[in-house]
Structure 1
Amino acid sequence: MSPVHPFDEAATARAVIAENGTLVHWNEGARRLLGHAPKDVEGRPAAALLAAGATFPAGSRVRRGERWYGTLDLRHRDGSTVSVWVLAHHRPPRQDEPGEPGDWLVVTPLEASPRRPLDDPLTTAVLAQAPCPTAVYDERLRLYGVNRAMAEVVGLPEDRILGLRLSEIGGKPESEELEEHLHQVFDSGTGRDVETFLRTGGESRAHAWLARIAPLIDPEGRVRGVCMAAHDFSEQHKARERLQLVNEASVRIGSTLDVTRTAQELADVCVPALADFISVDLLDPPEHAGEHRLEPPTAPITLRRAAQQSVHPGSPEAVLKPGDVQVYPAVSPHAGSLTAGRTIVAPDAAASLKQWLSVDTARAERVEQFGIHTTMSVPIRARGQTLGVAVLTRYRRPDPFTADDVLLVEEVTARAAVCIDNARRFSRERETALALQRSLLPQSLARTAAVDAASRYLPAARAGVGGDWFDVIPLSGMRVAMVVGDVVGHGIQASATMGRLRTAVRTLADIDLAPDELLTHLDDLVVRLSAEAGAEGTTGEVGATCLYAVYDPVSRRCALARAGHPPPVMLPPGGPAQEIDLPAGPPLGLGGLPFESVELALPEGTVLALFTDGLIESRDRDIDAGHRLLCDALEASSDSLEAACHAILRSLLPVGGTPDDVALLLARTHGLPASQVATWDIPADPALVAAIRKQVVAQLDDWSLSEATFTTELVVSELVTNAIRYGEPPIRLRLIHDATTLICEVSDSSHTAPHLRRAKIFDEGGRGLLLVAQLTQRWGSRHTAEGKTIWAELTLVED
């Protein structure tokens, strides 16, 4: 007997036989029984130890995981025949070796525990009077005796199993675990309760057992054995498991609005609680964002594997991988369940699915390899529509699916179906909103002489598409407007509001409003939108933030104003990057509050970074840290605006996606050289218009723009004449040009804006602006602090 473990290995003859019949283990007790040494028999066919005419086990009546017992005639080493009662357990492969063949554990006791007299108080109290299944194990932890209730549970002759260990009687991993608990109770002298779930030889199905293990102590205080009383609490156990599973399903399934992840959560909940393997296959959504039909689909049915789970890592039972598509015939459990519109249980997989497995050889091999004995296919339905099917499989658990299992799986699947349907509807709405938003955002940024620009837009990973937007708007006088905004909320409504605000900003920018005035008008619009969005007598929840900037390449000055929006970051040539100190202003939609503009000089090549709050705000860091990361990334990669956009997003955004929309606009400023600008102060004398035309022609010759002389003379003549006739001094003429455009501007102190009208046949005037409109690419007027400016653009590049 081992000083550490009380097991006497020689008290049982034990052998292990592989599936192919090879003897892989032979213990000392087996040597005592038949005289063969381990080295003489291990690795050889076990059939060689059978006497003539004997077979093991009896034909092929034993299924995987079951047992066989009876008398065998064995061949002794000396040639004699020994008749022995043996107990043989077929053991499935180990959990860490999926797909490997099992083996046979063959045992027979060589000596029983010495029985005490029947009037022994210990025997009388424990064995005779115990109302529940009870077993007593001696000092060697070998069976000393059982009562009638335990004998019925074990299902073996009591006189044959006396002297065997618990692991030898049960032959299952659960029996080995119980035996270890027996040993610990024997060593410690302290009892314990152990819960286990197994099917014994005397049961038709697995039961939940509460094993109450207690030491047997004699009057001298010595531990003389261990008593184990078993209580069947299967119903309570199943009820508790169902409640736990339903609770777990409600918590785990639907944690995100992602179809694939929701399907995987369903699979994770069902294994191993309900099945050894599960596959979740879904119908592909109808084209053009349609709905599934209410009537059940017809076979054959095309399904896509969305998720699967197994008790073995890597799901070796699976024929498909997630994402694979397969067509299922009517005889398959997938199509059968979907066409019938109800759960179908196949209690004998090999027989029930014989027709399908005959044509699907890959699955037939898996059924045979793993010993799959039962399947259950459950339709996944929500709002009356069929979304897919979940197929549960058992092979390691010996018991088939019961009616209670069906109800439980249907409840869990119904919860998952609602979550999958919600996820699909969310995905469909998100795709619609994203398509709408992309159509409302600029497809490409306007190319201007004032700035080089690059941009990025990223929708939120899970919250839905929001209302972030950006724009670059060319203005008169080579100026350019840059805007970034963020509408409160997510979804199609936010995208639609964003489109309306972006259109409003472009309209207001065309009339050359100052940044603070533009935000005031935009605030009024948001107030009206809120009123329209609310129910009768209430106000809707429409709000937004915005940053608007106007850059003039001639003066190299930039005017900015913001309405509750994050301030921009400026990187002058040579650095460092810094946040522009700009009054915050109220968010759009509050109404009646003023906005303030700030004007600052920007050196040539300054980079402006305009962005929404989704870029710098994060749960993992404060806003100041976000600003530092932005500045560092901008400084490190400012040579290329596209590279800078990529570096900024990579530095500030998490790998799995941002929780909020992100809009980023980078602009590098360019100044217009003084040599490309000419200015004249015009006396209020019509007689001097001809002299002005000559000076303009000379300037065009200096600029090598003689091909534009004729048109420019006419435009300048009309604009200057109108300013002298209808405007107020001082009057100023300015010409600006770059490689593609020539701009004529005439400014005066009058605030009266000109109007284009159609002159009658005999009118002497009224055709000047009409002529300007016909000769130029575009024209317009803008109000200034001193009055107004009339401008016209001529294209220098031939179409």
Structure 2
Amino acid sequence: MSVAWDDIGGLVDAHERFLAGARVDSDVRDPVLASWKRCRAAGLEPGRLYIPYEPDVALDERFMRAAEPVLRKLADSLSELGTTVALCDGQGWMVKRLGGNRELLARLDRVHFAPGFDMSEESAGTNGVGTALVERGPVQVVGREHFADCLQPFACAGAPIRDPLSGRIEAVLDLSCLRDDGDPIMLRLVKEAAQAIEARLLEASTERERALLAAYRQATADTGAGVDGAAGLGRIDLAVLREKAEALLASPHRTLDEVNLTGGRSAILLRRPVVGASGESGVVVEARILGHPSPVDLGIGTRAPAGHPPGPHTPGGGSHSRVADHTHRMAWADPTQDLAQALTPHPGTAHVVSSPSAGDTPGRLVLVGEPGVGRLALLARRRLELLHEAGIRIGATLDVTRTAEEVAEIAVPRFADFAAVDLPDAVLNGEEPEVLGGDSPLRRVALRSRNDEPRLYHVGDAFSYVSSTPQARSLESGRAVLEPVLSEALGWFAQDPVRLERVLAAGTHSLITVPLRARGATLGVVSFYRCANPEPFEGDDLSLAQELGGRAAMCIDNARRFTREHNTALTLQRSLLPRGRPEQSAVEVAYRYLPAQAAVGGDWFDVVPLSGARVALVVGDVVGHGLHAAATMGRLRTAVHNFCALDLPPDEVLTHLDDLVGRLDRGEGWALEKSSAESWSIGATCLFAVYDPVSRRCTLTRAGHPLPAVVAPDGTVEFVDLPSGPPLGLGGMPFETAELELAEGSQLVLYTDGLVEDRHRDIDAGLDRLRTVLAHPGRGPEDTCEAVLDALLPARPGDDVALLVARTHVLGADRVAQWDLPSDPSVVSRARAMVTQQLAAWGLSDLAFTTELVASELVTNAIRYATGPLQLRLLRDRALICEVSDGSNTSPRLRRARTEDEGGRGLFLVAQLTERWGTRYTPHGKIIWTEQPLP
């Protein structure tokens, strides 16, 4: 093709429109669109994939012996077409790759489409391997249909390979090439190759297995053709009939079953024993449809084969002779023999069946099998399906309680009628489990019941098992315990005889209890009961329960360890965040910190009092989650406090933080260097604001952080248009500041991106919602925090959230006194007089002597050593602040004068007489300030 089909029509930009939230149903094939939705729900990013690698991926020898000749033949036939053949296991891990030219293989290696890598949809997005696994059928994915950007230059077709006897997907076969070399025939080739491997697997099975499978397939095919045409049964009805027929075939003591079908009809299933000509015995299941308007021939066919007249009790060549034919086929020895020939009746075939009564509707054969083999095969397949589903569903949330609930949900009703999971509180809290004995305290964490049977304990109840109970024996021995007949298990009654008598009277008759053991420790116990199912538990059920308990234990232990790490990181995070509100008068603050449900991150906030009654407001977000992010957050917060102590401007604070993050990312300053297996990196965003209550000016700068919001006293909301600086850690780029004047009572709202953005909501939509919530005048900071969190956050946030709301105050003119002074020594006495007079007006005459001396020393030093205009300022805030500014950048130094020195004691006296003092720089010079506590 000169133009690839995915270059035509709406698919050209469908991927981008889908990611933007637009509907693309008419432009994208349904399987591809469904895959895209799964990829997005899994959190995959098209521009960035993390594909796990496992070096020892393999399939069993039986499968490889069947597959290798087909793979070699397929690879040889495609050797000149620039196509590679890949074989993956049943989970999507690539085992083998054959064929393909050098260019194709090099490009596939770059995107990790190579042996050992995980090609499942959860890791690699839409592709021939992963999507075929999820769809459980052949698929073709071309160019832009791939979810990941790096896979769009390719075309691929994949098909699952099933075990013919169990129906379980054992592997996936894939053909891949460059997009321009793709051809629709690839789908047919990969399907045929998968069928060839399945045929070779069937040839490797026993003769009886092949015969039973052939009979099963033919019966299924005949059922589909005959019943659909005659009785109008759909796929759902046919599936229900087959499932019930399998169950009836496997039940040695049942001969009849009734099945409700659609359209008000029902079916009677009849189980008949048969004996073939060679003496082999088997069982057939026939279906008779009731409620059809006219008699329906449900026999295996409507005519007897040529040369054989209809049987005496089978109208139109009914089921009796055909049943004998199918039974004869159970001994089919030649797997290459033509199926029709194998089904041809043999003269003199003997059979023993019960004849239908004269009023019966003719039956149609549904299933053929051997009672013992059929029962075991059916149970084995169902157990495999149960274990497969357990592997997929259990443990996905890494939450101990939810994992326990998933165990009970998997078991009921397919394995048990009632299931309960009991764990100690230590496991629920993520702690290391103690050694559990029979009398160890437990708590019921999960409960699942098929019906409303009486039960001893409910979810949340705490209790201990009596030592004679199966659960206690299981905990003591570390082994599963089977009680097939509970009425005979006297130790079970000892827990609560009165209550358990009622449980037994309600029909509970069989029990398996399994200890949940992982890494050599016992985490709890799970109990499976049967009530509605009349069959007691048996030895094979015990094996299944042990396997299910083992998988559940590993998942619960993983969830427990995750809980421990989460709690540790959360404790560290909370210990590093501010405790309480610092003393300052510039703003009234309220804040919230909400950790993510999945993992604690590195979000933080801070309120730092500065000199001159000012305050710094900080919000930051460290990349990543867990202990590393929390520890990095603590370092950055400490660094911010240190930089604030130096009275650095906001842009310089971010410059120093940027340098610190870069050094941390390079491993400088770490007690332990990152190992080669640790690929985590350090980065952060930050917003830094300084508010001055005297001038009402607010200076802001940001490093890759979301814009702050300003809520005016009248409720008007505006997002401050700050220059966009790079995130911390990139280095090399300057940070710019913006300055705005805030009216008294304005609210400055700072937050992290987890508040306004997640995988289901675009950041613009989140900002619009935030604007709407904030647009309420007269609301205090605490109420603003509550309203914002209620409106924007789900019950289980996927990312950390830090929110800081500050309502501004103004230091009025009655609390500020300032004087411009000439650079003349004679002005010092005048400065002392003005200070004394102002303190008297404020009622602070007790501080006059000290303040007069401090002002005199600072003004004298400024006249002697500095240049430019001088200014003396007094601020009455929580402390008495005295400031002297000049036009020099020279910083004074505190030193201890020697005995013979005539000077050098001024700053020493100032430091002794005041509580704090320091220097901060301005664009036009510096300010030396002091603070004295008020009386």
Instruction: Answer whether TM exceeds 0.5 for this pair.
Output: yes
| Aligned with residue 380 of structure 2, among 232, 239, 247 | 239
Q: Is the 8 A contact 2:484 2:509 kept in 1?
A: yes
Q: Which moved more, 1:555-564 or 1:405-414?
A: 405-414
CA shift digits 1:301-329 (9 cap, x unpaired): 321111111111xx433211111111112
Instruction: Please name the residue that 1:263 is paired with.
Output: 404
| Inter-CA distance 181–679: structure 2 relative to 1 (3 Å threshold) | farther
* CA deviation profile, 1:484-514 (whole Å, cap 9, x unmatched): 0000111111111101000101111111111
**Whole-Å separation in 1 of the counterparts to 2:428 and 2:793:** 33
1:42 alignment partner in structure 2: none
Task: Give, as a single letter, the amino acid of the residue that structure 2 aligns with 1:255.
Answer: A
Q: Which of 673, 685, 701 does residue 840 from structure 2 map onto?
A: 701
Q: Does structure 2 conserve the Cα–Cα contact (< 8 Å) formed by 1:577 and 1:631? A: yes
In angstroms, what is the RMSD of aligned CA positions? 3.0
Aligned partners of 1:637 and 1:647 also within 8 Å: no
CA contact (8 A) 1:607 1:668 kept: yes
The match for 1:339 is 476
Q: Partner residue of 2:505?
A: 369
Q: Distance in 1 between matches of 2:770 and 2:295?
A: 64
* Equivalent residue number for residue 901 of structure 2: 763
Give the equivalent residue in structure 2 for 1:416: 552
- Identical counterparts, % of pairs: 51
* Equivalent position of 1:635 in the other structure: 775
Q: Quick one: structure 1 residues 316 and 759, their matched pair in 2 at CA, closer, same or farther if it must change by over 3 Å?
A: farther
2:870 is the counterpart of 1:731: yes
Counterpart CA distance in 1 for 2:907 and 2:727 is: 40
Aligned mates of 1:153, 1:364 — CA distance in 2: 31
Alpha-carbon spacing, 1:779–1:359, altered in 2? closer, same or farther (3 Å): closer
Change (3 A) 1:287 1:515: same
Which sections of structure 1, spanning at least 5 residues, go unmatched?
1-148, 157-164, 168-174, 194-214
Per the TM alignment, residue 475 of structure 1 is displaced from its structure 2 partner at its CA by 0.7
Relative to total residues, which structure has the larger strand share, 1 or 2?
A: 1
SS in 2 for 1:226: coil
Structure 1 residue 683, shift from structure 2 partner:
2.4
What secondary structure, in the 3-state scheme, does the structure 1 residue paired with 2:902 have?
coil
Question: For residues 287 and 303 of structure 1, do their structure 2 counterparts lie closer, same or farther at Cα, with a shift above 3 Å needed?
Answer: closer
From 576, 599, 604, give the equivalent of 1:469: 604
TM-score by length of 1: 0.72
Aligned counterpart, 2:753: 613
Contact 1:276/1:392 (<8 A) preserved: yes
Cα shift at 1:236: 2.5
> Corresponding residue for 1:137?
none
How far apart, CA to CA, are the structure 2 residues paired with 1:584 and 1:377? 61
Task: Indicate whether 1:662 and 2:662 are aligned.
Answer: no
- Note closer, same or farther for the CA distance 1:374–1:438 as it changes in structure 2 (3 Å cut): same
| Cα distance between partner residues in 1 of 2:790 and 2:688 | 26
Q: TM (normalized to structure 2)?
A: 0.61
> 1:676, CA displacement in angstroms?
2.2
The one-letter amino acid of 1:772's match is: V
- Deviation at 1:346? 1.0
In structure 2, relative to structure 1, the CA distance for the partners of 1:428 and 1:373 (3 Å cut) is same
Q: CA deviation at 1:226?
A: 2.7
Cα displacement (A) at 1:223: 8.9
Listed one character per residue, the Cα deviations across residues 757-795 of structure 1 (whole Å, up to 9, x for unaligned) are 222233222222122122212110011111111000112
2:737 corresponds in structure 1 to: 597
Instruction: Establish whether residue 253 from structure 1 lines up as the match of residue 360 from structure 2.
Output: no
Q: Which residue of 1 aligns with 2:350?
A: none
SS in 2 for 1:659: coil
1:557–1:601 CA contact under 8 A, matched in 2: yes
Q: 1:637·1:643 contact (CA, 8 Å) conserved in 2?
A: no
Q: Which amino acid aligns with 1:754?
A: P
What is the CA distance between 1:696 and its match in structure 2?
A: 1.4
1:741 equivalent to 2:910? Answer: no
Whether the 8 Å CA contact 1:568–1:608 is kept in 2: the answer is: yes
- State the AA in 2 paired with 1:501: L
Check whether the contact 2:440–2:465 (CA below 8 A) recurs between aligned residues.
yes
How far is the alpha carbon of 1:299 from its aligned partner?
2.7
Q: CA deviation at 1:332?
A: 0.6
Of 638, 646, 671, the residue aligned with 1:503 is 638
In terms of mean alpha carbon deviation, does 281-290 or 449-458 score higher? 281-290
How far is the alpha carbon of 1:355 from its aligned partner? 3.5
Structure 1 pair 562/155, CA: closer, same or farther in 2 (3 Å)?
A: closer
Identify if the C-alpha distance between structure 1 residues 715 and 536 changes in structure 2 by more than 3 Å, giving closer, same or farther: same
1:304 paired residue among 443, 446, 463: 443
Residues 368 and 675 (structure 1 numbering): CA distance in 2 closer, same or farther, change over 3 Å? closer
3-state SS, counterpart of residue 630 of structure 2: helix
d(CA) in 1 for partners of 2:869 and 2:448?
Answer: 83
CA-CA distance at 1:520 after TM superposition: 0.5
AA aligned to 2:840 is D
In structure 1, C-alpha distance between the alignment counterparts of 2:295 and 2:801, rounded to whole Å: 64
Amino acid at match of 2:593: Y
Q: Does 1:711 align with 2:850?
A: yes
Q: Contact 1:186 / 1:223 at 8 angstroms: preserved in 2?
A: no
Q: Which position in structure 1 is the counterpart of 2:415?
A: 274
Q: Which of the two has higher C-alpha Rg?
A: 1
Shift in CA distance, 539/187, structure 1 to aligned 2, threshold 3 Å: closer
Counterparts of 1:396-415 in structure 2, within 5 Å, are 396-415=532-551
Q: Secondary structure at the match of 1:686?
A: coil
Query: Does structure 2 conserve the Cα–Cα contact (< 8 Å) formed by 1:731 and 1:749?
Result: yes
Report how many residues are paired: 606
After superposition, give the CA deviation of every residue in 1:113-156 in whole Å (9 maximum; x if it has no partner).
xxxxxxxxxxxxxxxxxxxxxxxxxxxxxxxxxxxx99x96699
Aligned mates of 2:932, 2:268 — CA distance in 1: 92
The answer as to 2:655 corresponding to 1:520 is yes
- Aligned-pair CA distance for 1:335: 0.6
CA distance in 2, matches of 1:382, 1:562: 48
Distance 1:190 1:254, change over 3 A: farther
Residue 290 (structure 2) pairs with residue 183 (structure 1)? yes
Shift of 1:187: 4.6
Q: In the aligned structure 2, how far is the partner of 1:752 from the partner of 1:246?
A: 76
Q: Which residue of 1 aligns with 2:691?
A: 551
SS at match of 1:625: helix
**One-letter amino acid matched to 1:565:** H
In 2, distance between residues paired with 1:435 and 1:275? Answer: 40
More helix by proportion, 1 or 2? 2
Does structure 2 retain, via aligned residues, the 8 Å contact 1:217–1:224? Answer: no
Partner of residue 14, structure 1: none
1:252-310: CA deviation from partner (whole Å, max 9, x where unpaired): 101211111100100111111111111111123179975235xx633323211111111
Q: Are residues 794 and 338 of structure 1, via their aligned partners in 2, closer, same or farther at CA, if it must alter by over 3 Å?
A: same
909, 915, 921: which is aligned to 1:777?
A: 915
Moved more, 631-640 or 464-473: 631-640
Inter-partner Cα distance in structure 1 for 2:689 and 2:796: 29
CA–CA separation in structure 2 for the residues paired with 1:637 and 1:342: 66
Gap change, CA 1:714 and 1:288, over 3 Å in 2: farther
1: CA distance between counterparts of 2:295 and 2:836? 112
CA offset digits 1:660-701 (Å, max 9, x no partner): 000000011122222322222222222321121011111222
Q: Does 1:652 align with 2:792?
A: yes
Residue matched to 1:438: 574
Structure 1 residue 704: Cα displacement: 2.8
Q: Is the 8 A contact 2:620 2:687 kept in 1?
A: yes
Map of 1:678 onto structure 2: 817
User: 2:267–2:289: 8 Å Cα contact kept in structure 1?
Assistant: no
Query: Which deviates more from structure 2 when the two are superposed, residues 383-392 or residues 408-417?
Result: 408-417
For 1:368-390, what per-residue CA distance to the aligned partner results, in whole angstroms no more than 9, with x for missing partners? Answer: 32232221111101111100111
How many angstroms apart in 2 are the aligned matches of 1:603 and 1:192?
A: 90
Q: 1:216·1:225 contact (CA, 8 Å) conserved in 2?
A: no
**1:430, 1:666 → 2: CA distance?**
27
1:143 aligns with none
Amino acid in the other structure paired with 1:629 = R
State the distance in 1 between where 2:805 and 2:317 align: 90
Q: Deviations over 1:12-71 (max 9, x none)?
A: xxxxxxxxxxxxxxxxxxxxxxxxxxxxxxxxxxxxxxxxxxxxxxxxxxxxxxxxxxxx
Specify whether residues 762 and 672 from structure 1 end up closer, same or farther in structure 2 by C-alpha distance, changes over 3 A only.
Answer: same
Q: Secondary structure at the match of 2:563?
A: helix
Quote the Cα distance in structure 1 between the aligned partners of 2:454 and 2:429: 35
**Amino acid of the residue matched to residue 540 of structure 2?**
D
